Amino acid sequence: MSGDAALQERRRGAMRVLAHVPVAEIGARMAEVPVPPHQHLRAPESGLVMVRGRAGGDGAPFNLGEATVSRAAVRLQSGEVGFGYVLGRDDDKARLIALCDALLQSPDHAEAIETRVVAPLRAQMQAGRDRSAAEAAATRVDFYTMVRGEG
């Protein structure tokens, strides 16, 4: 995998985690990381996006409705630009995600963000999923069908 492809995959993986954890968890982890000077290219703001669907999954597209989305963009002093989008009205989360995205692109800060923020949150998220799966498995009932011979 080339350097650009690896960076994009790292960013995608981080965004996948950060989008699903509470903002307080991200904020607590980010407090442990020294944040370099940065500026807001796009201050956190909320708006609406049209959600589209398809009848039957592959039929004609139709407008399902609108969803609220928050977004932000941040530029580090070294030039890296990060973007944060999150479903719902959570400007702080969009700002923190944008900051993490920019820091992941910085050679000086990427490892710290990955090890102190993203990896622990990924492990916490996976532990929650494993716990839910174990709880569901504990209530599973196996039904066996008995076949009688007509003999």
- Rounded-to-integer distance, Cα 89 and Cα 11, Å: 22
At 145 the pLDDT is 63
Instruction: State percent of the chain over pLDDT 70.
Output: 93
Residue with tokens 């980010």: 30
List the structure tokens of 49: 């996006």
CA 127, 131, 133 angle in degrees (round to 5)?
115
| pTM strictly above 0.85 | no
Amino acid sitting at position 130 = D
Per-residue pLDDT, 137: 84
φ/ψ of 56, rounded to 5, equals 75, 10
